[in-house]
Amino acid sequence: MPFATWWRGDPLPELPPLLSFAARRVTRRDEARRVTGLTEDRVVLRFQGGHRPYAAFLDDEPVAYGWAALQGGGIDELDFSFEVPPDDCYLWDFVTLPDWRGRGIYPHLLQAILRQEDAVSRFWIGYEAGNQASARGIAKAGFGVVGDLEVADGRVTGFLLFEDGERARAAGALFGLPLRRAS
């Protein structure tokens, strides 16, 4: 699972305008349920865990959503969890509804979160290897890939660095994993 980051002060690429686009943090649980389609129990657990839902709208219709974690993060499929340090944010569980895909909504939503979470210094986001639509949207929003979670026998075992810089090391520290350089 590749991971990318954007740090406060990094440039934000200019995106083509989307008429009637708006994005905002969803603060009410009933609206989060409506926008995400998650059960009430799951929404309550996410709110209790300090996760913040964001939604993108076109003409006031919800078209995409994602979550910002400021305390702890994880990847359920890999039974992997980690603490999110102060000043950092882990972005996860992003979905563009099927009828709205291919219109550039995802990078717009990501940039809206970067602007609205102005107390955060570093943002992190992962995507499934091979999910080129996610990879393109993340790159268009201004994120740079720094490494990849190493997985063996269905569990996370380390972090493979794509670069030797501070950002790749910070990702390894975020996850609390052994680091290895890509060959």
Structure tokens, 92? 């996860």
Instruction: Give the per-residue pLDDT at 169.
Output: 83
Instruction: Give the per-residue pLDDT at 52.
Output: 97
Residue 118 structural domain:
2-181
Give the other-Cβ count within 10 Å of 34's Cβ. 14
Structurally, how many domains does the chain consist of? 1
Q: Structure pTM?
A: 0.95
Cβ pair 34, 14 in contact under 8 A: no
CA proximity to 124, closest of 78, 165, 173, 157: 173
Question: Which strand (E) or helix (H) includes residue 6?
Answer: strand 2-7
Give the rounded distance of the alpha carbon of 156 from its chain centre: 18
Chunked into runs of 10 residues, the chain (183 residues) has average pLDDT values of: 96 95 97 96 96 96 97 91 95 96 97 97 95 96 95 91 87 88 80
The separation between the first and the last C-alpha atoms of the chain, rounded to the nearest angstrom, is 17
Q: At 20, which CATH number? A: 3.40.630.30
Instruction: Give the per-residue pLDDT at 173.
Output: 86
Phi, psi torsion values for 122, nearest 5 degrees = -135, 135
